[in-house]
Amino acid sequence: MAIKDRMSGNEAVAYAIKQVNPDVMPAFPITPSTEIPQLVSNYIANGEMDTEFIPVESEHSSMSATVGAESAGARSLTATSSCGLALMWEELLVAASNRLPLVLALVNRTLSGPININCDHSDSMGARDTGWIQIYAENNQEAYDNFIQAYPIAEDPRVHLPVMVCQDGFITSHAVQNILLEEDDKVKEFVGEYKPEEFLLNPGKPMAVGPYSVSNYAMEAKYNQEKAMENSGKVILEVAERFKKTFGRGFGFFEEYKTDDAEYIMLIMGSAAGTAKQAVDDLRAKGMKVGVLKLRVFRPFPADEIAKALSGCKAVAIMDRTESYNGHGGPLSSEVPAALFRNKVNIEAVSYIYGLAGRDFMVETAYEIFEELRDVVENGKKVKQHRYIGLRTREEQ
């Protein structure tokens, strides 16, 4: 039976780590993820888990050590945020290309500069093309649930790719919410034991990890890595379904909130989805048919599924909590319209940038966006794409 508790998002992820009890955790502290390795080290010191904790000299070292431990056959993980993830850049690609099923607990924080410690998605989105599976949480419960599902996804023989479990810095990582914690034995049974097929410390079966690959082989390796990413979509859905049957919670690539008859939909990720849902409830009470599509899985990108989910609406607001600096939109505002186009879904799509460096996203702002979508459809309003919302100046409005 689930245990009712109150925890911050960092506490929830650390508790999930305790329950999974991985073999090795190298880590280096950085705000706002510092509490995760701190709490895990406390669990180890108190004899509640037997993970080998390795304090290292930098985030590059923490991912390097995680890669080494996973290569040796140990179930491994680390945690970081922002510039820490950026410092890991080289090793992120090494982990994915070596097909290592390790896990990273990422607490989203804006990347410098200017220097800021608050939430946006610039860190994880900057790593979106490194070959990692990426899963995002709206709240503390989802951060906990997503971490429990991470290893069964990563370690599936059809996948063997690392997983980045993302939550919003301070908004969920430090805010305390009610949460349901599962019993230790049920979590352990769900995650299972790690039994690697190939690993460095396997007597009598020598192997190399990360060798130089000549041109005759490197492209095939990259192709196989891409096929594994494609395979991971099916595995993510299978694990989500098993999680729901076991614990009664969860969904797959995304959550559709009151979208069945929605004329106007907001597509959004992370904690701001809760604000968007409140706006939907308020506007529904006034007779406006609106909904939210909350994207949970960004890698692999569920293009066909998103296009199908949006096919019945008249207009979609695409909300990016990061900037791509490409002159026309953020990552979602590039990938969602491409998905719509390829699936021949002809609806209005408006690109917005919001919440950078922790800028508040208000219910009133969501009202305005939904009203603007309606104005576009009903009155042919011409709107500025790639518009920053919530700026202190109105020049860009």
Question: What pLDDT does residue 354 have?
Answer: 98
Per-residue pLDDT band for 210 (boundaries 50, 70, 90) equals confident
Q: What is the CATH number of domain 3-247?
A: 3.40.50.970
Across residues 376-386, what is the average pLDDT?
A: 96
- Residues 90-110, mean pLDDT to the nearest whole number: 98
For residues 78-103, give the mean pLDDT.
98
Determine the Cα–Cα distance for residues 337 and 390; give it in Å rounded to an integer: 23
> What whole-number distance in Å separates Cα of residue 125 and Cα of residue 311?
26
Residue type, 214: V
Q: Give 240-298 pLDDT, tens digit per residue.
A: 999 999 999 999 999 999 999 999 999 999 999 999 999 999 999 999 999 999 999 99
pLDDT tens-digit map of 298-307:
999 999 999 9
Q: Is the pLDDT of residue 396 over 70?
A: no
Residue 394 has pLDDT above 90, yes or no: no
CA of 168: how far to CAs of 122, 140, 266, in Å?
11, 10, 19
Mean pLDDT value across the chain: 96
Q: What is the pTM of this model?
A: 0.97
Q: Is residue 393 very low, low, confident or very high in pLDDT (cuts 50, 70, 90)?
A: confident
Half-sphere exposure (CA, 13 Å, Cβ side) for 62?
Answer: 27
CATH 3.40.50.920 fits 254-388, yes or no: yes
- pLDDT tens per residue across span 28-81: 999 999 999 999 999 999 999 999 999 999 999 999 999 999 999 999 999 999
What pLDDT sits at residue 211? 85
User: What is residue 358's DSSP assignment?
Assistant: G
Comparing CA positions, the residue from 101, 121, 98, 99 lying closest to residue 111 is 121
Q: Does 356 score more than 80 pLDDT? A: yes
Answer whether residue 88 shows pLDDT above 90: yes
Q: Alpha carbon of 274 to those of 139, 144, 172, 256: distances in Å?
A: 8, 17, 11, 12
Percent of the chain scored above 70 by pLDDT?
Answer: 99
Confidence class of residue 395 from pLDDT cuts 50, 70 and 90?
low
> Which value, to the nearest 10 degrees, does the dihedral of the CA atoms of residues 303, 309, 314, 316 take?
-60
Asked if pLDDT for residue 15 goes beyond 60, the answer is yes
Please report which confidence band the pLDDT of residue 377 belongs to, taking 50, 70 and 90 as the band edges: very high
pLDDT reported for residue 206: 85
pLDDT of residue 303: 98
The domain locations on the chain are 3-247, 254-388
Residue 348 has pLDDT above 60, yes or no: yes
Residue 67: half-sphere exposure toward Cβ, Cα within 13 Å: 20
> pLDDT digit string (tens) for 129-172?
999 999 999 999 999 999 999 999 999 999 999 999 999 999 99
Identity of the residue numbered 169: G
Q: Nearest CA to 35 among 6, 12, 65?
A: 12
Residue 397 has pLDDT above 80, yes or no: no
What are the residues whose beta carbons fall under 8 Å from the beta carbon of 382, sequence distance 6 or more? Answer: none
Average pLDDT in the 7-29 region? Answer: 98
Check if the beta carbon of residue 152 is closer than 8 Å to that of residue 239. yes
Mean pLDDT score, 77-96: 98
